[in-house]
């Protein structure tokens, strides 16, 4: 990028930010007085939504920030905030020349927490630098550390997914019922909503009772029979299941036969 922002007394620059929500929706906003289209995303004019000052450091510590605004914008709905669609959402923010469309990204991170008060919301941001504080050396464990069908597991998720329609849904018990599917296979698995008020959101399957699946997240009000969901099978992350059910012991990311601390603490006992 050859553009140098704020090099003169007067500049045609506006602030922008993008929100990549957990349900696959991308939202763009700008402080300009009209919508701007760049980077393949429409950035809606939202002068009431303002980010805090951005502090960038050369060290490895996190550069915290936040963003606040009113719940009056059509794209930011209170029910979406309450349902968790903004939890852990990716954030990018920067400046754009609203005449030429040239942009510069100043900050990238994710939303750590969202709070609501008096018709406004505030999102606390965590920069990408926070990942530098993570321990990259895996700890030993008897169970598999890989996410099922994720990196390290190497299984193709298409072979373990199925799209079905709901027979019934009970918001009070967080339970949905399916038909003509071996529901026991989906224990510890995942349900993704393909229709209805929770479209795009996912929930873990924490229990199975016949054809009923008990979810980790509440079932949204308005969920009705006939709505489509995508089910992904689950894995209990044991070497027995990995070997016998999936034939994937070669990629097992654990140490099931490593002696534990109790073995190290043993000492001879006279008889």
Average pLDDT by consecutive 10-residue portion of the chain (271 residues)?
Answer: 70 85 87 89 75 55 56 67 81 86 84 71 73 74 92 93 92 87 85 90 91 90 91 94 94 86 67 69
The Cα–Cα gap between 48 and 58 comes to 31
102, 168: one domain: no
Which tens digit of pLDDT belongs to each residue from 152-168? Answer: 999 999 999 999 999 99
The enclosing domain of 181 has a CATH number of 2.40.30.20
At a CB cut-off of 8 Å and minimum separation 6, what does 238 contact?
143, 144, 256
Number of domains in the chain: 2
The Cα–Cα gap between 121 and 54 comes to 19
Does 163 map to a domain? Answer: yes
- The pLDDT of residue 258: 81
DSSP element (H, E) containing 241? helix 239-244
- Residue of 77, 87, 67, 112 whose CA lies nearest to 20: 87
Q: What is the pTM of this model?
A: 0.72
18, 72: one domain: yes
The enclosing domain of 36 has a CATH number of 2.30.110
20, 116: one domain: yes
Q: Is 214 exposed, middle or buried (0-12, 13-18, 19+ CB in 10 A)?
A: middle
The neighbour count for residue 159, using CB atoms within 10 Å, is: 9
- The pLDDT of residue 58: 52
32, 124: one domain: yes
36, 113: one domain: yes
What is the extent of the structural domain holding 20?
13-133
20, 120: one domain: yes
The Cα–Cα gap between 111 and 90 comes to 7
Q: Is 210 exposed, middle or buried (0-12, 13-18, 19+ CB in 10 A)?
A: exposed
127, 19: one domain: yes
105, 203: one domain: no
191, 244: one domain: yes
The domain boundary residue, chosen from 133, 168, 202 = 133
Which tens digit of pLDDT belongs to each residue from 99-150? Answer: 888 888 888 888 877 777 666 667 777 777 777 777 777 778 889 999 999 9
122, 191: one domain: no
22, 113: one domain: yes
């Amino acid at each position: 990028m050859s553009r140098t922002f704020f090099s003169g007394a007067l500049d045609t620059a506006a602030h922008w930010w993008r929100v990549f929500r957990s349900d696959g929706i991308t939202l763009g906003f700008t402080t300009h007085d009209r919508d701007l289209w760049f980077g393949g995303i429409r950035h809606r004019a939202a002068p009431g939504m303002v980010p805090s000052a951005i502090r960038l450091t050369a060290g490895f510590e996190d550069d915290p920030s936040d963003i606040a605004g009113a719940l009056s914008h059509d794209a930011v709905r209170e029910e979406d905030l309450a349902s968790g669609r903004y939890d852990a959402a990716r954030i990018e923010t920067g400046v754009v020349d609203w005449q030429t469309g040239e942009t510069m990204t100043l900050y990238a991170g994710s939303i750590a927490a969202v709070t609501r008060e008096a018709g406004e919301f505030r999102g606390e941001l965590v920069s990408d630098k926070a990942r530098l504080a993570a321990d990259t050396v895996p700890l030993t464990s008897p169970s598999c550390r890989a996410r099922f069908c994720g990196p390290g597991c190497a299984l193709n998720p298409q072979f373990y997914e199925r799209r079905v329609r709901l027979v019934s849904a009970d918001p009070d018990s967080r339970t949905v019922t399916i038909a003509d599917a071996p529901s026991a296979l989906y224990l510890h698995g995942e349900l993704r909503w393909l229709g209805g008020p929770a479209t795009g959101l996912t929930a873990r399957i924490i229990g199975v009772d016949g054809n009923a699946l008990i979810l980790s997240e509440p079932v949204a009000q308005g969920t009705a029979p006939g709505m489509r969901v995508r089910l992904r099978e689950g894995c209990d992350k044991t070497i027995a299941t990995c070997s016998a059910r999936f034939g994937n012991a070669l990629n097992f990311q654990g140490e099931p036969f490593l002696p534990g601390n109790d073995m190290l603490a043993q000492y001879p006992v006279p008889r």
